[in-house]
Amino acid sequence: MAADKKNIMARYFIVILFMGIIGVLVVVKAGKIMYGERQYWKEVADRFVRDNVIVKPNRGNILSSDGRLMASSLPEYRIYMDFQSGGKTKDTMLVNNLDTICKGLNKIFPDKTAKYFKDRLLEGRKAGSRNYPIYLGRISYIQYKQAKKLPVFNLSRFSGGFHEQVYNQRKKPFGSLATRTLGDVYGDTAQGARSGIELAFDTVLKGKDGIIRRQKVKNKFLNITEVPPIDGCDIVTTIDVGMQDICEKALVDKLIEINANEGLAVLMEVATGEVKAIVNMTKVGEGQYRETRNAAISNMTEPGSTFKTASIMVALEDGVITPDDIVDTGNGIKMMYKKPMRDHNWRRGGYQKLDVTQILMVSSNIGVSTLIDKHYHSNPDKFVDGLYKIGINRPLNLQIPGEGVPNIRRPKDGRWYNTALPWMSIGYETQIPPINMLTFYNAIANNGVMVKPKFVKGISKNGTLIETYPTEVINPSICSQKTLNTIKDMLAKVVSDGLGKPAGSKQFPVAGKTGTAQVAKGALGYTGGVMSYQVSFAGYFPADQPQYSCIVSIQKTGTASGGVMAGGVFKKIAERVYAKNLVLDMRAAIDSTSVVIPDVKVGELVQTKYVLDDLNVNTEAGFRFRGKKEIWGKSHIGTDAVVMEDKEFNKNIVPNVVGMGAKDAVYLLESKGLKVRLAGVGKVKKQSIANGSALRQGQTIMLQLD
């Protein structure tokens, strides 16, 4: 027993000694790794795991009030070739397919020949470039996908060498329409916004960055998403594309006609304050105008005679004048504190005696300034207080950056002279942005309620509004109802019988006020500087049930007239917008005793008969239905029905699609293996491959619609 005990103890000792040695070796190895081989293993780890990579989200879209795309981020690409990727196998494939690749590139980029691409690829191959540009310039996503289908290019980057660089560019499908209001972004959308709605709502549009970690597993890098990017929301504007187009065309046509320096027009919905259109045009060349700045909200110019309405409103509200008060304007020139005040017709002898309504109708400077100076000269602060009560001086705090702040000074502000009040009353000595003047006239149309102009209706995510911006009231009542009714009557007479006649329409009543103001350019002032004029018209329509308010302002040198020039633009805008929204009852235009037989396009007859039956139009089908199979043919008008006749098409020849609509023509031709390109709208007028020609699969046929 003793011997066995000694044997067991010896074995325990050996085991413990062995484990102790192993433990010592582990500690030694760990120390070596931690200190001696630290840098080596750090480099190994770095080869398998890379730092976090920021993933940029997609920038949100800017939409019109009816959901049409006005600004969106679209990818553009530059394509390159790495001639060192893929080794000899790739190089052999490239040489063998070089002609095919170059012909394919020529079809995608017809501005360059196949020889051009062949020379470039051979040059890059000879240089052994790793990042050789295949095509100089950015290309669209469609062009990129087409190029990616070519031989060698369709391989992975490391096998074929074809690779790309992506740029997210901001595109505006409607071109320059409302471009200064929509705003701009710097080059790549990831760099941020710099103006307009893009800047004001940048945090909403740009979304939130994501983070991915690239980790190497089995000699391949995997992108592991740690924080997914959150795409930006869409901004729904108040802009109506149709109305914006109407305003822009009407304004630019007039600017070209009178060779104006610049012009602007703003159209606003009366009840909501939604800006439906805003145009800012500056002359950039002979007969060429472009939006360079948002003058409608930033211009700090003297408003001129459109301000007279506010002056008369203050005096009426204070009860110091009535519409029947008479002012003798004399021969059109009156000395006021040793400075001449002139009416526009002073060379023709002036207006003599006018009542207050007539003063506004003919925009008499002498009439307005005499009334205001008579009743407020001893207390000009009271007049300014009246303007402040209206709210015409208040900053609007618009949804977009760049607005000017109205400047209506008081005597205590300094530099107050005896002439200040008379000239202030007719729109000088003050600076008010056009959008603020429009807000004032919009309040008159809105039964005295002044609302804040609105450019953005809400924020949308995946087609659903997640936030809306309600109409904001600036002043619930700019004046008493009695004063408001009097002003409305005056503004209606300005257009019906006064200088605002050019702004009137035979289709509906219009109310508003003309304005003409001298604009000094240079530092010499009005007497010595180079003069130009700012002509304007501000008003609303229809005058009896106002729906829209509008201001038009034009700057030009030489002879100018607010009524003829700005008022003429206002008229075009008003009539075209009114016609756009006009819904007529067509039942009165149809003779109920007659049978209406429509003209029917050539095309697929089963669907044609389905539509005609649903419209209760009589049909005569000269063919048999063959289940769900389509039947092609033509139709003609019979005595009291549409007569439809089928036609068989030979499978091996190009069919005749002249007279068909685009949908039917494209379907029929593509079902036969042809590629179709369209030009124009309407019915097919011409086809590039004559009917009866031999059919070749993949051939492209051009259809001219009219």
pLDDT in tens, 464-492: 899 999 999 999 999 999 999 999 999 99
**How many angstroms separate the CA atoms of 400 and 182, rounded?**
9
Last residue of a domain, one of 236, 258, 278: 236
220 with 254, same domain: the answer is: no
The answer to whether position 41 is within a domain reads no
526 and 394: one domain? Answer: yes
pLDDT over 90, % of the chain = 45
Ranked by mean pLDDT, the top range of 60-69, 131-140, 266-275 is 266-275
Examine the pLDDT at 588 and tell me if it is beyond 60.
no
Confidence of residue 698 (pLDDT cuts 50, 70, 90): confident
651 in a domain, yes or no? yes
Q: Is 273 left (phi over 0), alpha (psi -120 to 50) or beta?
A: left
Mean pLDDT of 489-508: 94
Instruction: Say what the pLDDT of residue 589 is.
Output: 54
Q: Are residues 177 and 257 in the same domain?
A: no
Q: Which one-letter DSSP state was computed for residue 189?
A: G
Q: Could you tell me if 379 and 510 lie in one domain? A: yes
Q: Tell me: pLDDT of 31 over 80.
A: no
- Structural domain harbouring 331: 243-580
Do 185 and 195 form a contact (C-beta atoms < 8 A)? no
Q: What b/e sequence results for 396-418 when a residue is b if at least 16 CB atoms lie within 10 Å of its CB, and e otherwise? A: bebbbebbbebebbeeeeeeeee
- Indicate the average pLDDT of the chain: 85
Q: Among all chains, which residue has been given the structure tokens 């770095």?
A: 46
Helix segments in 397-555, DSSP class H:
420-425, 434-445, 481-496, 525-528
Number of domains in the chain: 4
User: For position 617, which CATH number holds?
Assistant: 3.30.10.20
Statement to judge: residues 99 and 231 lie in one domain = yes
Residues with Cβ within 8 Å of 528's Cβ and at least 6 positions away in sequence, in order, are none
CA 59 – CA 204 distance, rounded (Å): 9
- The DSSP H or E segment spanning 62 is strand 62-63
CA distance 357 to 369: 14
Q: Which range is least confidently modeled, 262-271, 331-340, 557-566? A: 557-566
Q: pLDDT higher for 335 or 673? A: 335
Whether residue 665 sits in one domain with residue 559:
no
Quick one: pLDDT band at residue 528, thresholds 50, 70, 90?
Answer: very low
Please indicate, yes or no, if residue 594 is contained in any of the structural domains.
no
Neighbours of 96 (CB within 10 A): 12
3-state SS assignment for residue 654: coil
Q: How many CB atoms lie within 10 A of CB 554?
A: 25
pLDDT at 41 (0 to 100): 67
How far is residue 277's CA from residue 242's CA, in Å, rounded to a whole number? 9
Check residue 520 and give its pLDDT.
62
pLDDT value of residue 687? 86
159 inside domain: yes
The region of weakest confidence among 184-188, 409-413, 699-703 is: 184-188
pLDDT at position 527 is 39
- pLDDT on residue 606: 75
Residue 468 domain flag? yes
pLDDT band for 222, please (50, 70, 90 cuts).
low
* Residue 517 contacts residue 534 (beta carbons within 8 Å): yes
- Does any domain span residue 281? yes
Phi then psi for residue 465, to 5 deg, are: -70, 120
State pLDDT tens for residues 142-156: 889 999 999 989 988
400-407 mean pLDDT: 93
CA dist., res. 232 & res. 311, Å (int)? 47
User: What is the tens place of the pLDDT at every residue in 361-402?
Assistant: 999 999 999 999 999 999 999 999 999 999 999 999 999 999
Least confident of 393-397, 415-419, 469-473, 508-512: 415-419
Please tell me the least confidently modeled range out of 294-303, 407-416, 432-441.
Answer: 407-416
Given a cut of 90, whether residue 495 has pLDDT beyond it is yes
Would you state the pLDDT for residue 525? 37
Average pLDDT in the 184-189 region? 74
pLDDT exceeds 50 at position 671: yes
Higher confidence at residue 564 or residue 474? 474
Task: Check which CATH number belongs to the domain holding 576 and give it.
Answer: 3.40.710.10
Q: What is the pLDDT of residues 228-268, one digit of tens each?
A: 888 889 999 999 999 999 999 999 999 999 999 999 999 99
Q: What is the pLDDT of residue 672?
A: 80
Question: Which is it for strands 62-63 and 69-81: parallel, antiparallel or unpaired?
Answer: antiparallel
Three-state SS at 63: strand
In a domain, 42, yes or no: no
Q: Which pLDDT does position 136 carry in this prediction?
A: 87
**What type of residue is 477?**
S
Asked if residue 217 has pLDDT above 70, the reply is: no
| Residue 82 reports pLDDT greater than 80 | yes
Please state, in angstroms and rounded to a whole number, the distance separating the CA atoms of residues 574 and 445: 15
Reference 305, options 512, 521, 556; nearest CA is 512
Residues 419 and 541 in one domain: yes
- Look at residue 545 and tell me whether its pLDDT is greater than 50: yes
pLDDT in tens, 439-452: 999 999 999 999 99
Q: Are residues 217 and 251 in the same domain?
A: no
Confidence of residue 524 (pLDDT cuts 50, 70, 90): very low
Q: Strands (DSSP E) along 109-154, which ranges?
A: 132-133
In a domain, 229, yes or no: yes
CA–CA separation, 668 and 243 (whole Å): 38
- Both 189 and 329 in a single domain? no
**Is the Cβ–Cβ distance between 508 and 517 less than 8 Å?**
no
Q: Which of 219, 236, 253 is the last residue of a domain?
A: 236
What is the pLDDT at residue 3? 55
Of 650 and 344, the one with more pLDDT: 344
Do 264 and 229 have their domain in common?
no
* Last residue of one domain, picked from the residues 210, 236, 262: 236
CATH number at residue 133: 3.90.1310.10
Q: What is the pLDDT of residue 333?
A: 94
Question: Is the Cβ–Cβ distance between 107 and 143 less than 8 Å?
Answer: no
pLDDT of 11 higher than 70: yes
pLDDT, tens digit (0-9, with 9 covering 90-100), for 604-618: 777 777 777 777 787
Judgement on whether residues 92 and 24 belong to the same structural domain of the protein: no
Q: Are residues 539 and 635 in the same domain?
A: no
